[in-house]
Structure 1
């Protein structure tokens, strides 16, 4: 009888002990689940929209440039990238250009604040050639660019994007391009603004040479804006735009070379495969891996320039492709 009682007691102790251990294990697992960091599904970058993606609607009068912030917010973008030439018609309405700029910039800022988007940068076009062969022309371009540097400062942008066209003679360009760029960067530094150069045709699309210019200028606020699709070195008939490209710099090599000095990234897109949703000219997975491996976590700007889709459809296709690719990296 004593043996039976002892056995029952031992069995009861064993069952209670197992239950307690099980409860402790479950509690421990629950605590661990709460403490352990959850793997983020957010992309490693932030999304911005380049205003040039809507240039046809704006230049055609279908959309006001001042509706840009609203449109970008509606399409799910956190940041916006302005294009100076899309405000030319607005500026022409004013006899007093200084007062006109002040009014335009104030309205741009008001719209961005109303719709809760970050002003990232201004792409400056048609304000003179910073790499012109004549120093007087370069200096005039620097002066012409300054108003947009001032605008970027008021808007809270971190950068202005500039072009370095100049000449196709490498020896000359490697002297003229750093001169104009450094002069503007020195002024921009007083406004806490970065001056960034896009690969945008002619020798500026030769990333190796462009980085030589960066090293010559050697200023902390002077950098690059790698664009996925602007690596054409030469077009038919020597045309700057429009004509067929007959010589192109390797786009993946180019972006990789430019990333160490990148303050922004432009995800250029043209055409998409309707079945896969992939961009037909650029391997976005390969390109975004280059961007990520460089340690970049800033804004990636969607810039659609295709003809196969409407502007808004092209923007959405580019945005969705970037987000899809981000999940694989």
Structure 2
């Protein structure tokens, strides 16, 4: 007998929530307001933790042991930031999307009312370098979580949110995209998230699980990872303002993006799980801007105007009045059509 199988048997034997549940019992269970957040140390996870705590939830975050050194975004939520101790309403647990036994054990112990699955290898370019790892975490990781819920007899009690992505649309089939727009993923990351999307739908239909996908378009904040284009631009412009850097290098400056704010998008995640019936939703602003426009607005914040010269990979942005080079295209960032 494998360790995972043993945990599954323990769940079914020990869980007080296995089997049929009356409406009254379900109401009592959900009134506890206990949430699990995977990927809690990331941009979305940290904002979501803040939001749920403000709503009176008890929040349990799952972090990898390697992530214990990268908890700056949630540092302020600890009762004692120096020792990383939690509080009565905020706890962290070691876990990993590649380890089904630990996921089963955590879910059975915590007995969550809601699970927000945000953990992922979410960088498109990195997914080409690490395609197998991306699939293991982003695709099969979601399956492991859903199966853990089912194994613990919580299919009819837990509400499950899966952070999907606009990268599913890839080679765009229509503009604007909506819930019924055909998917056309164009990266290992997008393909992994497509599996994740459909396994959520499958478990919803097969086990009557309240499982939902939120197809999120780009959403940014000061907590966004530094490898993403918005942070590359804002950090670069800040360094230019401090005379620590002369120019920034980008990929496709004509790429169009729908950018929102992460704080608003995590509230949308919560709202999705408050519906009477589970469903999948696109979360976006409905407004598109180019990377070029983002660059111009960022430089405007430090009192500089950018003038463009050249075309394609030879296009550059120079500072009006000084003719100092401030933006250049780097072909290596064009390989996956992502900056």
Q: With structure 2 as the length reference, what TM-score do the two structures score?
A: 0.33
Q: Which has the larger radius of gyration?
A: 1
Q: With structure 1 as the length reference, what TM-score do the two structures score?
A: 0.33
